[in-house]
Amino acid sequence: MDFNLTEDRQMLADTLGRFLTAQYPVEHRIKVAYDAPYHDGAKWDQLAELGPLYALASEDAGGMGGTGFDISVVFEALGRALCPEPMLGALMASRLLASAGADQEALLAGASKYAVGITEIDAPYELDQIATLATAKGDGFTLSGRKSTVYGGQVADVILVAAKHGDGLGVFAVNAADANITGYGLMDGGGAAEVLLDDTPATLVLADGKAALEDAVNAGIVALCSEAVGAMDVTHAITVDYLKQRKQFGVPIGKFQVLQHRAVDMLTEIEQARSITIKAAAELGGDYATRYAAMAKNLIGRASRLIAEEAIQMHGGIAMTWEYSVSHYAKRLIMLDAQLGDTDYHLSKVMQGYAA
């Protein structure tokens, strides 16, 4: 298998990387990621104009990509810059709209911000435990329930909600203005929202949406794993640079063999994480997508924590300061594990898959 990027994907990676490096230095990220609305609206417009959202959808859906590798290229670049823009919700919403054959030009152009409401307090990961209920009313539907930790929901114009519909799960579009939305910032930057639905008017997008929801979650996992690989790469590079500059007993601490070994161990973990992410991206949309997404998320969760902890320990106290970028990379790497299923949950999914 050729692991090199195609010319188009390399161009996308380079263009997006240059933009994020110029527009999202860590100082700007710190300024916008932790205060409402937990992103930069002007930068979102510039990012959308650059076109990465179109890389998240297939040509049939109006985009120019949509494969696991296209998603991976975009989110690895976002991870390198710790970009807090609400791209995860846009990706997952795009997958759902594509499954429905619905128009998504406003989403891909960045004119409308989308979020996806799946998680509930009593159903953090399992689709079969969703309690939000859709009720037919006149020519449309109303929804009742609560969606928790809706990523990007604090700035969304439209939220695609998973709800019980008949004997299965449907996907419904809710205008943010019609719902009771409470936005808040996350520990690692960026924002999310609690969405209360009380006979809230909604439009049916997919009557039988379980398979599409599973696909959207798998795509989201590939995105998060790719983001983690990008963030781990940068964290390792910063750490190695620090080891070359910080002196102890008159020599750079990078000359101490024990620290060299630990830096190499970090690199080994990153390459394993990159490999499983490539496999999950290759399988996205296939029969084994869920299994490999679970494998990737489990390994990424463990590797991310190790990279974060090793970087902090080898830096010492400076790595815990607000102004130093490693502290923000470490928080993001550790908190990534909680999104779309943590390490333990995905280990159970892997074991279920093999048992089946």
Give the tens place of pLDDT for each residue, 88-126.
999 999 999 999 999 999 999 999 999 999 999 999 999
CATH for 7-111 is 1.10.540.10
What is the domain partition of the chain in residue ranges? Answer: 7-111, 115-209, 212-355
- What's the pTM value of the predicted model, to 2 decimals? 0.95
All residue ranges of the chain with pLDDT < 50 are 356
Instruction: From the options 3.40.50.2300, 3.40.600.10, 1.20.140.10, 3.30.200.20, give the CATH code of 212-355.
Output: 1.20.140.10
pLDDT in tens, 277-306: 999 999 999 999 999 999 999 999 999 999
- What confidence score (pLDDT) does residue 226 get? 98
pLDDT at 19: 96
Please tell me the predicted confidence (pLDDT) of residue 248. 84
pLDDT, residue 6, reads 86
Q: Say what the pLDDT of residue 353 is.
A: 67
- Options 2.40.110.10, 3.40.109.10, 3.40.50.300, 2.60.120.10; CATH of 115-209: 2.40.110.10
pLDDT confidence of residue 2: 59
Please write down the HEC assignment for all residues of the chain. Answer: CCCCCCHHHHHHHHHHHHHHHHHCCHHHHHHHHCCCCCCCHHHHHHHHHHCHHHHHCCHHHCCCCCCHHHHHHHHHHHHHHCCCCCHHHHHHHHHHHHHHCCCCHHHHCCCCCEEEECCECCECCCHHHCCCEEEEECCEEEEEEEEEEEECCCCCCEEEEEEEECCEEEEEEEEHHHCEEEEEECCCCCEEEEEEEEEEEEEEEECCCHHHHHHHHHHHHHHHHHHHHHHHHHHHHHHHHHHHHCEECCEEHHHCHHHHHHHHHHHHHHHHHHHHHHHHHHHCCCCCHHHHHHHHHHHHHHHHHHHHHHHHHHHHHHHHCCCCHHHHHHHHHHHHHHCCCCHHHHHHHHHHHHHC
Q: What b-and-e string marks burial along 87-122, b requiring 16 or more CB atoms within 10 Å of the CB?
A: bbbbbbbbbbbbbbebebeebbebebbbbbbbbbee
d(CA 222, CA 284): 8
pLDDT at 1: 54
pLDDT, position 196? 97
